[in-house]
Amino acid sequence: MLTPRRIEIFKAIVDEFVQTAEPVGSKTLMEKYQLPYSSATIRNDMMVLEEMGLLEKTHTSSGRVPSTKGYKFYCEHLMEHKLEHQLEVAVRQQLASKPLNLDDAIRESCNILSQMTNLTSGVLGPDASRQRLEHVKLFPISNRSAVAVFITDLGHTENRTFQFDDDLSVEDIQTCCQILNDRLKGTLIKDVVDKMDSIKPILAAHVKRHEMLFQAFVNAFVKFASENVYFSGQNNMLYQPEFADIEKLKELMAMMENPSLWRQIGMTANSELALKMNKNAQLVWVNDMAVVTSKFKLGGDEEGQLMVFGPSRMDYDRIVSLLELVSQSIESLYGKGGSHE
């Protein structure tokens, strides 16, 4: 049974372990947290909390550490949303002070999160699998370079810069775009690359340097259709004691190279190891690692997702509040009706 005293002891253990990464014993709780209970009482309650699955005992110490179930209980019932007012003002000013385009603002948000949490942050762009190609525009920069702009039916745009080995005429570029728009409009982004093969003979009949343009567009569409993900602060993981194990660090790095995995993590709200918060945040625990996510809307059906991830031993109170603040700031600045819309 969870009595007020056991909850007080449990919360102190979580707070102490988050700060030190060291198993917590009854002596520390009595001296540092000045709990008004005897050492025997605290040890007995720690045993009960362990039996309930909220604490775990390590092999190297008589102290206890929070379990994944314990972290989930803490975040659901004991977490305090805390964020210093000065920090809140600083974050809002940093995002609002620069006339950034949306992509740059989202990347800057990731950088802010990784710097302020000392963890790794990431962002998932809008899911292109549901979107259809609306229009392609190609703007020549020189005889050997051009910028392509892809626009979807949901208003999402992607830019790609092409570098060519040989000179291309403006006429070839314009003809290529016209053929792509005529043949690909309304095609699901994920199906565009497959459909390009049927267009190749048409390009060959009307465009002199068709091979070069064809390959450039195929490469661009492959990148557009793939999951759009950006990470910041990967090196922060090197300073977390939980990732001193090189095998665990390799496993984490492999996860970062699998963008679709992160979108799946964001869709596990009903999992036993997931917790949906009151506002926009969600927490998921995977292999002794915690992933905190928060979605932001950009108008229409478009949305992105910010995330902070690291060891389960993290300052949830501060990180959840900070993530929600940054997510809401992006919405207010770049969402529908935002000042940078």
Model confidence over 200-240: pLDDT tens digits?
Answer: 888 888 887 777 777 777 777 766 666 567 889 988 988 88
Q: Compute the mean pLDDT over every residue in the chain, rounded to the nearest whole number.
A: 83
pLDDT digits 0-9 by tens, 61-71: 678 999 999 99
Q: What architecture is domain 129-225?
A: 2-Layer Sandwich (3.30)
Task: State yes or no: pLDDT of 149 exceeds 70.
Answer: yes
- pLDDT at 129 (0 to 100): 63
Q: What are the sequence ranges of the domains in the chain?
A: 4-78, 85-127+228-334, 129-225
Q: Look at residues 267, 313, 268 and name the one whose alpha carbon lies nearest to residue 289.
A: 313
- pLDDT at 229 (0 to 100): 77
CATH no. for 4-78? 1.10.10.10
Integer angstrom CA distances of residue 41 from 7, 27, 30, 45, 75: 13, 12, 11, 6, 25
The mean pLDDT value for 87-115 works out to: 79
CA angle 91/96/110 to nearest 5° reads 50
The confidence band for 127, taking pLDDT boundaries of 50, 70 and 90, is low
- pLDDT at 228 (0 to 100): 67
Q: Which of 127-141, 174-188, 213-227, 238-252 has the highest mean pLDDT?
A: 174-188
Task: State yes or no: pLDDT of 77 exceeds 70.
Answer: yes
Q: What CATH class has 85-127+228-334?
A: alpha beta
Q: Where are the alpha helices (DSSP H) in 33-169?
A: 39-51, 68-73, 85-96, 102-117
